[in-house]
């Protein structure tokens, strides 16, 4: 005989929320680390060689930074690219949504 296929249960209220984008999770991780170190946007941006405005947009999940930019920003925070990527992966696995206006629009 065939395999029994169960019907899905009732939908969860979270089912209609889209998963966070990688760039949102990366921005969240970068912002959290910068805040943990009590550093300003200008300080980290200067060390990374990017503009303060660009770093702000990365942190808010509005820009998709290249691996080179992520490496520079991570390096300015004392994180290697692999460390940063691992943190982003953990954030995505946890299903964490960034706080703020981007989360409200979702």
The residue extents of the domains of the chain are 20-97
**pLDDT tens digits for range 2-41:** 677 676 666 555 556 677 899 999 999 999 999 999 999 9
pLDDT in the model for residue 101: 45
Quick check: helix, strand or coil at residue 44?
helix
Count of Cβ atoms closer than 10 Å to residue 21 Cβ: 15
Domain 20-97 has CATH 3.40.50.720: no
pLDDT in the model for residue 16: 62
Average pLDDT in the 96-104 region? Answer: 48
| Whether the Cβ atoms of residue 34 and residue 50 lie closer than 8 Å to each other | no
pLDDT at residue 96 tops 60: no
């Amino acid at each position: 005989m065939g395999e029994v296929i169960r019907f899905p249960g009732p939908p969860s209220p979270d089912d209609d929320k889209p998963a966070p984008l990688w760039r949102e999770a990366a921005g969240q991780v970068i912002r959290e680390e910068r805040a943990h170190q009590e550093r300003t946007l200008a300080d980290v941006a200067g060390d990374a060689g990017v503009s303060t405005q660009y770093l702000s947009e990365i942190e808010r999940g509005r820009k998709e930074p290249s691996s080179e930019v992520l490496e520079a920003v991570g390096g300015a925070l004392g994180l290697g690219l692999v460390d940063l990527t691992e943190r982003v992966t953990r954030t995505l696995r946890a299903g964490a949504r960034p706080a703020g206006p981007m989360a409200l629009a979702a």
